[in-house]
Amino acid sequence: GQNIDQPTEMTATEGAIVQINCTYQTSGFNGLFWYQQHAGEAPTFLSYNVLDGLEEKGRFSSFLSRSKGYSYLLLKELQMKDSASYLCAVMDSNYQLIWGAGTKLIIKP
């Protein structure tokens, strides 16, 4: 079967760094997505990785290792507005997105 695992909840301090991990087992791989979803709002696209390595975009970076079936989202200089759920999703061989259950990130002052 297809499976995406990510922690249910994480807590971090304002101004700090947090890493949210995602491991996956899917039938085929056409890239990995990270989305951010604030409570009561639409998920919004953060990043897409299809090749191994680190992609940096401002305070957010995303890493992929296809051989390990592993990705992480790194958030630096945390701000209160970063409190949200972070969703990991893998595009399988049929170009369908397989989603993790999301990681709820709580930022404390």
Binding footprint of another protein on the chain (CB under 8 A): 4, 8, 30-31, 33, 35, 40-45, 48, 50, 87, 89, 91, 95-102
CB 52 within 8 A of CB 71: no
Under a CB-based contact definition with an 8 Å cutoff, are residues 70 and 54 in contact? no
Q: What are phi and psi of 103, to 5 degrees?
A: -115, 120
Report, in Å, the least distance between residue 37 CB and another protein. Answer: 8
Closer residue to another protein in complex, CB, 8/109: 8
> What is the smallest separation between the CB atom of 84 and another protein, expressed in angstroms?
14
For another protein, give the closer residue by CB, 84 or 98.
98
Please say whether the dihedral angle defined by the alpha carbons of residues 54, 18, 106 and 102, taken in this order, is positive or negative: positive
Residue 69: count of CB within 10 angstroms of its CB? 18
Minimal distance, residue 34 CB to another protein, in Å: 11
Q: Which is nearer to another protein, 40 or 53 (CB)?
A: 40
